[in-house]
């Protein structure tokens, strides 16, 4: 008989009703920072990380418009500070003319 190896994850991962992994704000900002330095296309990065392309693009849009910043609502205990070009986005207008986004 063959032996079966299983990987045990010590971190509890939040999931939605369909069983999809839910990421906190800090995790999305960590991923966006990783993407910024990856040199990959958005699609290739999402495929590599196993995240939904459309959700990732929505988070990039929120960051670009300054509608969301890293905060305490995370699923990870260690959240690196975002140091990208829009770190003080509250002081800047949205780069898209009246993008109308609500966050």
Tens of pLDDT along 9-44? 556 778 878 777 788 888 999 999 999 999 999 999
Q: Report yes or no on 51 lying in a domain.
A: yes
Domain membership flag for residue 46: yes
Query: Does 62 map to a domain?
Result: yes
Whether 93 is covered by a domain: the verdict is no
Name the phi and psi angles at 15, rounded to 5.
Answer: -135, 150
In a domain, 92, yes or no: no
28 found inside a domain: yes
Residue that the structure tokens 């690196």 belong to: 80
* pLDDT tens profile 43-95: 999 999 989 999 999 999 988 887 666 665 544 444 455 555 554 445 555 65
User: Does the pTM of the predicted model rise above 0.75?
Assistant: no
Q: Cα separations (Å) of 10 from 2, 7, 13, 45?
A: 25, 10, 9, 25
Q: Is the residue at 61 inside a domain?
A: yes
Domain that holds residue 53: 22-67
How many angstroms separate the CA atoms of 56 and 32, rounded? 8
Domain count, the chain: 1
Q: Is residue 8 in a domain?
A: no
């Amino acid at each position: 008989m063959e032996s079966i190896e299983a990987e045990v994850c010590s971190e509890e991962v939040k999931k939605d009703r369909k069983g999809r992994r839910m990421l906190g704000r800090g995790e999305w900002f960590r991923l966006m920072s990783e993407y910024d330095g990856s040199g990959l296309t958005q699609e290739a990065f999402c495929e590599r990380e196993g995240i939904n392309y459309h959700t990732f693009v929505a988070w990039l849009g929120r960051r670009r418009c300054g509608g969301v910043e890293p905060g305490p609502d995370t699923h990870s205990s260690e959240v690196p500070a975002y140091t990208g070009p829009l770190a003080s986005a509250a002081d800047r207008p949205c780069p898209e003319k009246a993008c109308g986004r609500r966050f």
